Amino acid sequence: MKIEEDQHDPESAQIAPALRDAINARRVTLAWLHERLRERGNTVSMATLSYWRSGARRPEGAQSVAALTDIEALLDLEVGALTRLLGRSHRTGPVGSAHFPLDANDIERAVTDAYAALGVPYPSTSREVTTHSVTDVGPDGNVALCSIRSIVQATTGTVDAIPFLEMTPGIDAPAPTFTAVAGGRLNALYSHPNGEVHGGRFDLDAPLTAPDTTMVEWSIAYPQGYPPTRESGYAVSRQCRELVLWIRFHPDALPDWCEERVETPEGSVITPVSVKHGRAVHLVHRAFGPGAVELRWGYGPRE
């Protein structure tokens, strides 16, 4: 098992002298420490131990912190003597390359146009670490309101705005109503001429520098005259640690059937879903993306 890569960081200057002093006080070598760690199941390399001692790198990630905890015990230090010097992590975690989540070239071109019009780079230099999307279905069985809360992380550089888009592939729809609830404000709106992509530029309350995160909340309301919509989904262009969809049905509009459609670069999978816990469906996907998750429902026999 490979220990996570460690990163250069000024905070390593705090832990390096403490580790050197502890090794010298115990009068052991790095080779001895390496062997004792191996016996405990920690596969940290000699080179990594040397980096930690010199301050060239700092421990990062769960496995490295576990190794550091073992080092405290092996060097007869009090619990936390080294780990409390780490400070916060500066890892973004596995980001992966960005990939358009839908298999639709026309929609991707429209999304690219939207990003350009909103003044944000494509692909985005941020990612959604966790997203919870809540959809309320009205008494007519159609989507009435979607509320989204996300933990957003800058993946590189500094991010001061995030684009949020509503996509209706193959349907020329009017623009829904976007509202910035918390974490920022809507600074611009955009509707593509094909009517299949609408969105806004969400300016953050404060600039976000990688790998920092922030929390945002926004909503989409669908006006009268909007095409009847009996599906709700969410798409991510990078891997998301947790994507949750919660669809809540009006008691007068409980569906006769539901199905989940998951689309990834590997293809699409459709799975029947039953309405549980009264009148709602929730879908949970961890380490998901790039891709899209969608719930569809209907009344009467499934066509």
pLDDT tens-digit readout, 181-237:
999 999 999 999 999 999 999 999 999 988 888 999 999 999 888 899 999 999 999
What would the mean pLDDT of 44-68 be, rounded to a whole number? Answer: 83
What would the mean pLDDT of 69-76 be, rounded to a whole number? Answer: 90
Q: What angle do CA 239, 94, 203 make, to 5 degrees?
A: 60
**Nearest residue to 286 (alpha-carbon basis) of 238, 235, 241, 239:** 241
Q: What is the pLDDT of residue 31?
A: 92
Determine the Cα–Cα distance for residues 19 and 287; give it in Å rounded to an integer. Answer: 35
Residue 4 in this model has a pLDDT that exceeds 50: no
Determine the Cα–Cα distance for residues 302 and 280; give it in Å rounded to an integer. Answer: 19
pLDDT tens-digit readout, 127-175:
999 999 999 999 999 999 999 999 999 988 899 999 999 999 999 999 9
Determine the Cα–Cα distance for residues 237 and 172; give it in Å rounded to an integer. Answer: 23
Cβ-Cβ contacts under 8 Å for 201 (sequence gap 6 or more): 118, 119, 120, 161, 162, 163, 186, 187, 188, 189, 190
* 155: helix, strand or coil: coil
Q: What is the pLDDT of residue 68?
A: 86
To the question of pTM greater than 0.75 for the whole model, the response is no
Q: What amino acid is encoded at 181 in this protein? A: V
Q: Which domains does the chain have, with CATH numbers?
A: 12-85 (1.10.260), 105-298 (2.60.40)
What mean pLDDT is reported for the chain? 88
Determine the Cα–Cα distance for residues 261 and 105; give it in Å rounded to an integer. Answer: 19
What would the mean pLDDT of 247-266 be, rounded to a whole number? Answer: 95
Q: Judge contact between 131 and 244, C-beta under 8 A.
A: yes
